[in-house]
Amino acid sequence: DTAVSQTPKYLVTQMGNDKSIKCEQNLGHDTMYWYKQDSKKFLKIMFSYNNKELIINETVPNRFSPKSPDKAHLNLHINSLELGDSAVYFCASSQRRGGGVNTEAFFGQGTRLTVV
């Protein structure tokens, strides 16, 4: 039973298109994230979302927008795709504890986005 699942696993699309990646977690966590892993395998936070509070990494272009229909889902919408958006995108979730500490994050299997 997968804890954090993303779809699709692979996504190939043309420049200028709009696409979405879906993420669902069944861990009951209250915080979800999107990370981007570039070609050098470096993981970097894009967004975090907790109880309707969205924190955006200031370096993320506004073509990227997360949408959370409920606590267990955080989808990623990307408008006007560019070649440089090609990367692996990971969804993750964790649970907020007292003192502002979050538990370890659990990751999905990733979505490899290729923009041609």
Partner 1 sequence: EDQVTQSPEALRLQEGESSSLNCSYTVSGLRGLFWYRQDPGKGPEFLFTLYSAGEEKEKERLKATLTKKESFLHITAPKPEDSATYLCAVQAYGGSQGNLIFGKGTKLSVKP
**Residue 75 makes contact with partner 1 by CB under 8 A:** no
Give the span between the Cα atoms of 104 and 90, in whole angstroms. 15
Number of chain residues interacting with partner 1 (CB under 8 A) = 30
**Residue 55 makes contact with partner 1 by CB under 8 A:** yes
What DSSP element (H or E) covers 7? strand 4-7
11, two tokens: 């996504």
- Whether residue 8 has a cis bond before it, omega within 30° of 0: yes
- The alpha-carbon radius of gyration of the chain (Å, integer) is 14
**Residue 2 makes contact with partner 1 by CB under 8 A:** no
**CB-based contacts of 84, cutoff 8 Å, min separation 6:** 115
- The only residue of 33, 64, 74, 113 in contact with partner 1, by rule CB under 8 A: 33
**Smaller CB separation from partner 1, 18 or 54:** 54
CB of 88 to partner 1, least distance (A): 9
**Residue 58 makes contact with partner 1 by CB under 8 A:** no
Residues that bind partner 1 in the complex, under the rule CB under 8 A: 4, 31, 33, 35, 40-45, 48-50, 53, 55, 90, 92, 94, 96, 100-110
